[in-house]
Amino acid sequence: MPINDLFEPLRLGDLTLANRVVMAPLTRSRAQPDNTPSELAVRYYAQRASAGLIISEATVIAPEGVGYPNVPGLYNDTHVQAWQLITSAVHAAGGRIFAQLWHVGRISLPDYQPGGALPAAPSAILPKGNAFTWTGPKPFVMPRALEVSEIPNIVAQYAAAATRAIQAGFDGVEIHGANGYLIDQFLRDGSNRRTDAYGGSIENRLRFLTEVVEAVVAAVPAHRVGVRISPSSPVNDMSDSDPQGLFDAVASRLAGYGLAYLHVVEWAPTEVAPPDFDFQSLRRRFGGPYIANGQYDRKRALKAREDDTADLISFGRLYIANPDLVTRLSQDAPLNTPDPATFYGGDAHGYTDYPFLSDPH
Ligand code: 8OZ
C-alpha cells in the first residue's frame, strides 16, 4: 500500500499547500454588528494555520446578504482592514486562507435587511423553518422575487467582495453556492420558479452561478477561486426534481474556468446510509481538485485518499475544537470534543481556548 498522502504537500493552482486537510467554512457569529470581523478572530484563525487551507466563515458581500447575527462582511474598507490582521496572522503562521463569499437570499428576515425590507430571492417561495436570532428562532418570511434588472448589481457585489478579499490579503475566494443560500436558490427548482432567463431549464437555473463565477474570475485569477455546492442537502428547505442532472451540469460548467477547486458537501441522511447521489460523477466532470466535506473523520479521510475519491478533505466541527487538527490526525491522537453551546456568539470561550496537544496538562 502506498504511503497515505493526506499529510503531504499539494499544489493547488500556483499555491503549495502544506497538506490536504482543509478547515471548512464555519459561521461563529462573533463579528461586530456592522459586519467587521472581531479582534478575537485573529487568534482563532492563526491557531488553525497548520491546515493546508483555511476557508473563512461565510462572509457577506452586501448588507442585503445578511441572514444571521454578527457575521463578517467584505463590502467596505473597514472590513478589509480587519481581515488584513487575520490573513497576516495566518500567513505568519505558515497557513493559507480563502474568503467564503456569501449572500443568503431568502434565508433572512426584515430584521436583518437594510430599512427592514423583505429579503429577496429568485422566487417568492417561503422556506419552511425559522431564521436564527439572538432572541430565538423566528419564522422565515415570504421573500420578494428579484427583478431581472437587479441581478447585475448582485453579481457585481460578488466581484467587488472578491477584489476586497485579495486587498485584505486572502489567498483566494470560495463562492458559496451551497446550503440553500442565494446561488443555490437559483440552481434548484424547489426555490426557483422563474419564467425568465434565470429559471426553468437547468441551463437557465445555472445562469446566475455562471455570471457570478465569470465576474469573480474577471476580478481574481481563476486558480484562486473555488466553488462550494451541496447537491444532496435539504438544509434550508431545499429540493430539486433532478439533483444528479442539475449538479452534473454544474460540475461540467465549472470545468471550463481553471478554478482552484470544487468543494462538495456530501450530505447523507445518516452517517452509515450510502448517499443517494453519485459525487464521483461531479469529480470526473469537474476534472480539477475536489474537496470532500461531510462528517469525515480520520479513517474516512485516509480512505478517501487511498481510494482517490477526493483530493482534499475539509473538516468543520473537528476544527472548532481542535486547532492542531493536522497534528492530532497525523499522530492518531485523541480529539477535543466540540461544545455546541459556544458554536455561535459569545467570547473567547469555545473559540480560542480549545487546547493544543502540546499545551501543558
Ligand atoms: C450554520 C449556521 C449559520 C450559517 C452554511 C453559512 O450553512 C452557513 C451557516 C451554517 O453554509
Query: Residues 72-106: pLDDT tens digits?
Result: 999 999 999 999 999 999 999 999 999 999 999 99
Cell of 285: 466532470
Q: Which residues are catalytic?
A: 181
> How many Å lie between the centroid of ligand 1 and the Cα of residue 156?
23
Residue 356 located in a structural domain: no
Residue 350 located in a structural domain: no
pLDDT at 275 over 90: no
For residue 1, the model assigns a pLDDT of 47
Query: Residues 250-266: pLDDT tens digits?
Result: 999 999 999 999 999 99
> What's the structural domain count of the chain?
1
> How many Å lie between the centroid of ligand 1 and the Cα of residue 99?
14
207 within 8 A of 253, measured Cβ to Cβ: no
For residue 261, the model assigns a pLDDT of 98
Query: Residues 331-360: pLDDT tens digits?
Result: 999 999 999 999 999 999 999 999 999 988
**Quick one: pLDDT band at residue 272, thresholds 50, 70, 90?**
low
Query: Residues 325-339: pLDDT tens digits?
Result: 999 999 999 999 999
Helix, strand or coil for residue 250?
Answer: helix
Residue 309 located in a structural domain: yes
The CA distance from 156 to 213, in Å, is 11
Residue minimizing CA distance to atom 7 of ligand 1: 179
pLDDT at 280 over 80: yes
For residue 269, the model assigns a pLDDT of 84
DSSP conformation letters of 332-343: T---PPP-GGGS
> How many Å lie between the centroid of ligand 1 and the Cα of residue 67?
10
Is any atom of ligand 1 closer than 6 Å to the C-beta of 230?
no
Residue 126 located in a structural domain: yes
Determine if residue 123 is left, alpha or beta; phi over 0 gives left, psi from -120 to 50 gives alpha, anything else beta. beta
User: What is the pLDDT averaged over residues 282-308?
Assistant: 97
> How many Å lie between the centroid of ligand 1 and the Cα of residue 60?
12
CATH code for position 94: 3.20.20.70
Query: Residues 21-65: pLDDT tens digits?
Result: 999 999 999 999 999 999 999 999 999 999 999 999 999 999 999
Residue minimizing CA distance to atom 9 of ligand 1: 27
60 within 8 A of 103, measured Cβ to Cβ: yes
Percent of the chain past pLDDT 70, that is, above it, reads: 98
Residue 351 located in a structural domain: no
Residue 357 located in a structural domain: no
Residue 240 located in a structural domain: yes
Residue with more model confidence, 275 or 114? 114
Is any atom of ligand 1 closer than 6 Å to the C-beta of 233?
no
Sequence-distant (6+) residues with CB within 8 A of 2 are none
Residue 183 located in a structural domain: yes
DSSP summary character for residue 75 = S
Boundaries of domain holding 37: 3-342
The CA distance from 292 to 301, in Å, is 9
> How many Å lie between the centroid of ligand 1 and the Cα of residue 280?
25
Is any atom of ligand 1 closer than 6 Å to the C-beta of 267?
no
Query: Residues 136-153: pLDDT tens digits?
Result: 999 999 999 999 999 999
- CA angle in degrees (0–180, nearest 5) for 338-344-345: 125
Query: Residues 164-215: pLDDT tens digits?
Result: 999 999 999 999 999 999 999 999 999 999 999 999 999 999 999 999 999 9
Sequence-distant (6+) residues with CB within 8 A of 136 are none
pTM: 0.98
HSE-up of residue 256 (Cα within 13 Å, Cβ side):
7
Sequence-distant (6+) residues with CB within 8 A of 24 are 55, 293, 314, 315, 316, 319
Is any atom of ligand 1 closer than 6 Å to the C-beta of 58?
yes
Q: Fill in the amino acid letter for 172.
A: G
Is any atom of ligand 1 closer than 6 Å to the C-beta of 157?
no
Residue minimizing CA distance to atom 3 of ligand 1: 27
Sequence-distant (6+) residues with CB within 8 A of 64 are 103, 113, 114, 117, 119, 120
The CA distance from 174 to 189, in Å, is 23
